[in-house]
Structure 1
Amino acid sequence: MLEIALRRNPSQACAYAQNLMYKTMKKIIGMFAIAVFAVACKKEDIQQNQNEYKGEILVNFDLKAGSSPLALRAAGDTVNYDYNTSNNQAFNVSNFGFYVSAFTLSGPNGESYTQEMKATAESAKGYYKVEASNPSSSFINLDNIPEGSYDQVSFTIGVGEEGVQSGASGGVLDPANGAWFWNWNAGYIAMKVEGSAADSPQEFVDQGNGSSIPAKRMEFHVGGWKDVEGSMFVNNLKTLTLDFGSPILIGEKYAPEAHVVVDVLPFFNASNNDFTTSYSVHSPMAGAPFAATFQSMFVMDHVHQ
């Protein structure tokens, strides 16, 4: 068409060509501007997502016996009995601890946070072992929490299916690191309470090679992660939900510390334990009455905002 116009009227053809080129250039520039704008918007969105603040909270498990900090005695100490049960039976504690996992937070306006859990041969992310003999283990830092207001925290006492079925796990789940592992069917010990009880009928036993069971020994190992009908295997995992009392803020300017009191006395009082007949527990079924006391052992005491 342009060639025919050029033969008939060269000046008109040149004007036509210039107009066509101008329109084409406008389209090209417009499309380029749209593309640049789209890239800029995408980059801004990415920057906003990257700049969205993630906060943290420190959960401090305060280990106590009643209103007093938990005192540890040497294993086999039958002289110093620090505590009494509601049945007026004297005892002391030489070892106390528990596994805690599966932390979640929730808020009044729909805020939510679930800590990532992953058990591999190298590590055990989201699993913690709190031991009275290791005070630093009582401090658990939860990070990467979306900024907002929160009024509840939930966690599980024990190690669930993911941690058991992952196979040989690292970190606090690795038996080579002192993990409290029974076997695949029973899983991990969720809580240990060991010491001496004045009314325990346990006699001294020399096991040879320098190993022995002290007289008056009491030893409670509570665990189990699944129910198997007609067997000794029961699920003693307990998920607890504690209120902060009032909403707390987590964000760029706020890193609160929550104090959760863990009282060992309800372990014996709420189960109505009698040391004369119950002083050695090492199976999921036998531990079920004590797992039922976990809810009364863990209490949200206060939060530093």
Structure 2
Amino acid sequence: MKKYILSAATAVALLSACSKDDDKTEYAGKATLTFDSRVGTEDFALNKDFTINSRTYQFTAFRYWISNVVLVRVDGSEYEVPASYYLIEELNKIAVQDGAFEYPAKKREDVTLSDIPLGEYKAVRFSIGVDQQHNDNLALQAGELSQLNGMTNVSWMWHTT
């Protein structure tokens, strides 16, 4: 995991293409964070057997949230990426309406951060999951936390049954 965070931090540190905002903050454009899901030393894949501690698992869907992304500058100051809630997922195709239609298979590993202030960054910090404020209130929408973003069939609240 450290390798991926270091790669992401390096990508952020190498940003260019500056422009100026009304408040005189210089912005550097975009950076992409890649989340490469793995099981031990193997690449994660749907419908594949993985053995962990003598137990075999097979996944037909895999979804998790990356949230509260913070970029740490070389001087230790931080830039909190606004509304940073991103759904990382790998899904098989899904039949709907008794098979009359289907949603295509989907795989997302990349998150693009935009409007990053110009600077030299040394690290990326983030949470896996959704913070309590947004977790406990589905009416709060930020980033990709939205029923319009395919969340009508997903509940991320810890206290659901």
TM over 0.5: yes
Quick check: 1:56–1:143 contact (8 Å CA) kept in 2? yes
Match of 1:93 in 2: 59
SS of structure 1 residue aligned to 2:45: coil
| CA RMSD across the alignment | 3.1
Match of 1:153 in 2: 124
**How many Å separate the matches in 2 of 1:105 and 1:116?**
11
Quick check: 2:21–2:27 contact (8 Å CA) kept in 1? no
CA drift at 1:141: 0.8
**How many Å separate the matches in 1 of 2:21 and 2:89?**
42
Residues 263-304 of structure 1: CA deviation (Å, up to 9, x unaligned): xxxxxxxxxxxxxxxxxxx76xxxxxxxxxxxxxxxxxxxxx
Residues 208-232 of structure 1: CA deviation (Å, up to 9, x unaligned): xxxxxxxxxxxxxxxx3xxxxxxxx
Match of 2:24 in 1: 49
Quick check: 1:111–1:150 contact (8 Å CA) kept in 2? no
Distance 1:166 1:64, change over 3 A: closer
Gaps of 5+ in 1: 1-44, 74-80, 118-125, 182-187, 190-223, 225-232, 234-281, 284-305
**How many Å separate the matches in 1 of 2:21 and 2:59?**
54
Distance 1:85 1:145, change over 3 A: same
Match of 2:109 in 1: 138
Quick check: 1:168–1:174 contact (8 Å CA) kept in 2? no
Pairs within 5 Å for 1:115-264 = 115-117=81-83, 126-133=84-91, 134-135=106-107, 137-163=108-134, 164-165=136-137, 167=139, 169=141, 171-174=144-147, 177-179=150-152, 180-181=154-155, 188-189=156-157, 224=158
**How many Å separate the matches in 1 of 2:111 and 2:49?**
28
**How many Å separate the matches in 2 of 1:92 and 1:46?**
49
Match of 1:72 in 2: 46
Distance 1:48 1:114, change over 3 A: closer
Quick check: 2:73–2:121 contact (8 Å CA) kept in 1? yes
- Structure with larger Rg: 1
Distance 1:89 1:53, change over 3 A: closer
Match of 1:83 in 2: 50
Output the amino acid matched with 2:24: N
Match of 2:5 in 1: none
CA drift at 1:149: 1.5
Gaps of 5+ in 2: 1-19, 92-105
Greater RCO, CA 8 A, separation 6+: 2
Output the amino acid matched with 1:114: E
- Count, aligned residues: 125
SS of structure 1 residue aligned to 2:29: strand
CA drift at 1:139: 0.8
Match of 2:78 in 1: 112
**How many Å separate the matches in 2 of 1:175 and 1:144?**
24
**How many Å separate the matches in 1 of 2:30 and 2:118?**
9
CA drift at 1:165: 2.9
| The structure with more helix, counted as a fraction of residues | 1
TM-score, length basis structure 1: 0.36
Output the amino acid matched with 2:52: T
SS of structure 2 residue aligned to 1:132: strand
